[in-house]
């Protein structure tokens, strides 16, 4: 079987699996966030944290809950790393330096999981399992909660109430993320991923000598890092490591985990607003971009010319032979079109155009299908922009799902869109202008610029993957990328929740003959075009200096 045909079959198998999960998972999540009943374990949690789940919150109170909870997680994870050397199960590792501890705490709380350290050489069992893995669950649950609050803003009228943050947080963790993670961990263990609390041991090498390895609760952390679109690897090689991702089957399963909740949330959205067709329109937009990017990535990696490429059957540099070009390309697109950041290949070794595709996927806002929760609310923001543009074209007040998109709403949407480009381009410009950051580049020219552009794109968009040719373990990068991750995560949430509150206060606008039909394929096409033009062109000058220049030179 040719590698190209094998890749097409993998993509078809993935589409079938996602299709089979779409309806039951989407409907289940809609029930979770619409139910008035609380499980017994949830009541214990509410009592323990002193929260009343029946109290509805307006957007400022909901936002305060998000920020307070995330700030507490940031402080706890920072302190846990700073005292690691005194903890049991530390495997002899010392405490983490302040700048790296801040960067890592910001990374995992912001659902980014950017790592400037070697996981198996820096973090013990307590930090990995009690700190990083826990934040993988909680940061994902926060993202879904914010998305659900925005959906309620569309579904409700004449009230500013968006639900209860603490109830949404607990339900998302207990009823959605935990059950799927338990099943997923068992699947990964069956595929060959490890799950233990073993210490450091030596392994003999074929060429002589020995190499040290440590075990860990890898399968359980691997499943939630993919399911929650987090991305941090237990080992430095991330999902290219055989202990995390043993074979082609586990690789396809991990891609499925990355995509399943973000895609299914579109059905949850349709259920909660009372129109499944609206959910299908958003799904169609996400799927169009995802399939298009995947096809482009496979084409550029398979079709690259040269003697070495011809002998290998394509651009195999930096890719695992057990996954091949197809498995690596599908994974790379899935992880950069979501806020996952897990990698099973060396993105820096991709062709110039291939590296550009991974960057552009993040720069679109990671909305196809995007991160858990963040992909849906990012896409809904873009839908508002598309409706506004359509309204300008025909000279009428734009409406979306029965809500008028006025001056206030479009300001919130515009501020949301401007946050990450300002962070990415601003920090990249400063880093390139200073002497010290540029010393971290292992390559000069266009590729060296791409390394820094990729790093801040990944951090500000809460992705976490890297070109890996950049030494980011410096005070400059640990601090600035940490700031970019926190601002890139929580500033957009401010505008999303403010928009949700504004929409919830409105009364429904009756549909007329002039109302734009946002459930039709025409709107899907308009939305795809809006995404590519409004967000994609923002980064075009920077991309022209990096991956595009490199690709054309090759």
pLDDT tens-digit profile of 97-150? Answer: 999 999 999 999 999 998 888 777 888 889 999 999 999 999 999 999 999 999
43 in a structural domain: no
CB 224 within 8 A of CB 132: no
Q: If residue 400 lies in a helix (H) or strand (E), which one and from where to where?
A: strand 399-400
What is the predicted pLDDT for the residue at 549?
A: 84
Q: What does the pLDDT average to over 5-11?
A: 91
420 in a structural domain: yes
Where in 77-116 does DSSP place strands (E)? none
What is the predicted pLDDT for the residue at 310?
A: 57
Higher pLDDT, 513 or 54: 54
Q: What is the DSSP letter of 453?
A: H
Higher pLDDT, 195 or 551: 195
Q: Which two tokens stand for residue 356?
A: 């550009």
Residue 46, pLDDT > 70, answer yes
258 in a structural domain: no
Cβ count within 10 A of residue 21: 17
Q: If residue 210 lies in a helix (H) or strand (E), which one and from where to where?
A: strand 210-214
129 in a structural domain: no
Neighbouring C-alpha atoms within 13 Å toward the C-beta of 202: 5
Write the DSSP assignment of 466-503 as a string of letters: --S-B---SHHHHHHHHHHHHHHHHHHHHHHHHHHHHH
Distances (CA, A) of 83 to 77, 78, 395: 10, 9, 61
**Given the structure tokens 């079709």, which residue do they identify?**
303
Higher pLDDT, 260 or 207: 260
Rg (CA), the chain: 23
pLDDT tens-digit profile of 307-360? Answer: 656 555 667 888 888 998 999 999 999 999 999 989 999 888 888 888 889 999
- What average pLDDT does the structure give for the chain? 91
CB 349 within 8 A of CB 355: no
Q: Which domain holds residue 388?
A: 371-553
In the beta sheet, which residues pair with residue 437? none
413 in a structural domain: yes
Give the three-state DSSP class for 50: coil
Residue 13, pLDDT > 60, answer yes
Number of folded domains that form the chain = 1
Residue 543, pLDDT > 90, answer no
Residues 6+ apart with CB under 8 A from 194: 215, 216, 218, 219, 243
263 in a structural domain: no
Residues 6+ apart with CB under 8 A from 131: 76, 77, 80, 81, 108
473 pLDDT band, cuts 50/70/90, is confident
What is the predicted pLDDT for the residue at 236?
A: 85
Write the DSSP assignment of 318-360 as a string of letters: TB-TTTHHHHHHHHHHHHHTTT----SB-GGGS-HHHHHHHHH
Distances (CA, A) of 87 to 123, 207, 411: 11, 36, 48
69 pLDDT band, cuts 50/70/90, is very high
CB-count exposure of residue 48 (10 Å: 0-12, 13-18, 19+): exposed
Neighbouring C-alpha atoms within 13 Å toward the C-beta of 159: 12
357 in a structural domain: no
Which bin fits 247, alpha (ψ -120 to 50), beta or left (φ > 0)?
beta
pLDDT tens-digit profile of 181-230? Answer: 999 999 999 999 999 888 777 777 767 777 777 888 999 999 999 999 99
First-to-last C-alpha distance (Å) of the chain: 29
Instruction: Return the sign of the alpha-carbon dihedral for residues 357, 385, 286, 224.
Output: positive
479 in a structural domain: yes
What is the predicted pLDDT for the residue at 308?
A: 55
Least reliable range by pLDDT among 49-53, 154-158, 210-214, 357-361: 210-214
Torsion of Cα atoms, 354 then 362 then 168 then 282, to 10°: -80
In the beta sheet, which residues pair with residue 345? 319
Residue 249, pLDDT > 70, answer yes
Which bin fits 241, alpha (ψ -120 to 50), beta or left (φ > 0)?
beta
Q: Which two tokens stand for residue 175?
A: 């009823």
Residue 43, pLDDT > 60, answer yes
- Parallel, antiparallel, or unpaired: how do β-strands 403-404 and 399-400 relate? antiparallel
The length of the chain in residues reads: 554
Q: What is the DSSP letter of 215?
A: -
Question: What backbone torsions phi and psi does residue 161 show, to the nearest 5 degrees?
Answer: -85, 135
């Amino acid at each position: 079987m040719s590698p190209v045909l094998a890749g097409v079959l993998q993509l078809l198998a993935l589409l079938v699996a996602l299709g089979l999960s779409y309806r039951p998972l989407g409907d289940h999540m809609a029930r979770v966030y619409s139910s008035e009943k609380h499980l017994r374990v949830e009541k214990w949690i509410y009592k323990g944290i002193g929260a009343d789940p029946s109290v509805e919150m307006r957007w400022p109170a909901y936002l305060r809950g998000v920020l307070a909870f995330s700030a507490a997680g940031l402080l706890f994870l920072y302190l846990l790393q700073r005292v690691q050397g005194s903890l049991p199960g530390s495997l002899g590792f010392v405490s983490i330096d302040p700048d790296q501890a801040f960067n890592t705490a910001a990374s995992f709380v912001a659902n980014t999981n950017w790592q400037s350290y070697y996981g198996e050489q820096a973090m013990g069992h307590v930090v990995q399992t009690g700190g990083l893995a826990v934040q993988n669950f909680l940061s994902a649950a926060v993202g879904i909660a914010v998305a659900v609050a925005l959906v309620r803003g569309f579904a409700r009228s004449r009230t500013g109430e968006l639900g209860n943050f603490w109830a949404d947080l607990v339900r998302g963790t207990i009823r959605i993320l935990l059950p799927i993670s338990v099943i997923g961990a068992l699947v990964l263990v069956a595929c060959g991923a490890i799950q233990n609390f073993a210490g450091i041991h030596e392994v003999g090498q074929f060429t002589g000598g020995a190499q040290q390895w440590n075990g860990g609760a890898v399968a359980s952390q691997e499943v939630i890092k993919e399911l929650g679109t987090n991305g941090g690897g237990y080992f430095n090689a991330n999902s290219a490591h055989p202990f995390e991702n043993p074979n082609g089957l586990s690789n396809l399963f991990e891609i499925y985990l990355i995509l399943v909740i973000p895609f299914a949330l579109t059905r949850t959205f349709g259920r909660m607003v009372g129109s499944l067709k609206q959910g299908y329109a958003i799904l169609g937009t996400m799927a169009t971009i995802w399939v298009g990017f995947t096809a482009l990535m496979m084409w550029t990696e398979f079709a690259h010319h040269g003697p070495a490429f011809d002998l290998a059957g394509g651009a195999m540099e930096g890719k695992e032979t057990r996954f091949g070009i197809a498995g690596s390309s599908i994974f790379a697109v899935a992880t950069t079109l979501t806020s996952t950041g897990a990698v099973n290949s060396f993105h820096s070794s991709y062709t110039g155009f291939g590296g550009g595709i991974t960057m552009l996927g993040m720069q679109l806002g990671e909305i196809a299908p995007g991160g858990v929760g963040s992909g849906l609310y990012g896409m809904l923001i873009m839908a508002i922009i598309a409706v506004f543009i359509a309204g300008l074209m025909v000279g009428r007040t734009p409406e979306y799902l029965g809500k008028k998109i006025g001056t206030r709403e479009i300001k919130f949407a515009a501020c949301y869109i401007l946050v990450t480009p300002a962070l990415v381009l601003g920090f990249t410009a400063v880093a390139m202008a200073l002497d010290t950051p540029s010393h971290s580049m292992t390559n000069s020219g266009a590729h060296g610029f791409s390394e820094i552009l990729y790093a801040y794109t990944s951090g500000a968009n809460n992705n976490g993957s890297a070109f890996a040719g950049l030494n980011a373990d410096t005070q400059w990068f640990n601090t600035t990328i940490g700031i970019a991750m926190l601002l890139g995560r929580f500033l957009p949430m401010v505008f999303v929740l403010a928009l949700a509150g504004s929409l919830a206060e409105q009364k429904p606008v009756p549909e007329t003959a002039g109302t734009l039909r946002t459930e039709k394929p025409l709107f899907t096409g308009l939305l795809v075009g809006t995404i590519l033009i409004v967000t994609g062109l923002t980064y075009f000058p920077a991309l022209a200096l990096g991956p595009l220049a490199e690709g054309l030179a090759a």
